[in-house]
Amino acid sequence: MINAIIMASGYGRRMGKDKLLLPFRDKLLVEHIIEKVMGCDFYNRVIVSRDERILSLAAKKGIKGIENDNAYKGQSESIKLGIINTLEAHGYMFFTADQPLIHIETIKLLMHTFNKNSNCIIVPRFGEKRGNPVIFPVKFVNELMLIDGDKGGKSVINNHIKDVIFVDIKNEYELMDIDTYEDYEKILNIKE
C-alpha cells in the first residue's frame, strides 16, 4: 500500500506567477500530475496546496485536497500535511505538481520497485540526475516529520543512502520540473 502526496503549495517566486495554473497541452499544468496519480493504484491520494482553485480542481478529479495555511514555512509543511492527512501505509510517494512530463509507466515502475523492496527509499534518476517522485517507506515517516523550512526529503535520502534504490528512467524530460519561465517555454516545445 502506497500513498500519493502531491505537493502544490509553492509560490512560484522564480516564475513570478502561479505556474501550476499555466496552460500546457490543453490542460492546466497541475492537471497532468493529478490525472497521472489518478491512473495508478494508490491506497490514499492527497494534494497539498494553498490555492483554492487547485484544491477545487483536485476535488473534481477525485483527489482529497489539504489546505496549507503554512505554505510560507516551505516544502516541509506540505510533507507533514500529506503524511498527517493520509492513512498509514507501507510507503509514501511524494510528487511535485510542476512535473507534467512524468509517465504513468514510470510511476508504476517506481511503485513496483518499492513493492519488491518495501524497506528502501525509491528514487528515479536519469544519468546522474536524481528526481521526483520519491517513495519513502513508513520507517522514515518520523524523520520526514522533523524536516523544517523549505527543505524536502533530500536530507533523509542523504542520511540513509545505503537504503536507497535508484531506478533508471529512459527519458530525461520526465524529471523536469518547471521553476522558471524558460523551463515552461522549453516544455512547450518538447515533442514526446
**CATH code for residues 2-188:** 3.90.550.10
pLDDT digits 0-9 by tens, 64-107: 999 998 887 878 899 999 999 999 999 999 999 999 999 999 99
Q: If we measure between CA atoms, which residue out of 72, 86, 67, 83 comes closest to residue 144?
A: 83
Split at pLDDT 50, 70, 90, the class of 11 is low
The answer to whether 100 touches 8, Cβ cutoff 8 Å, is: no
Domain boundaries, the chain: 2-188
pLDDT digits 0-9 by tens, 144-171: 999 887 778 888 999 999 999 999 998 8
pTM: 0.93
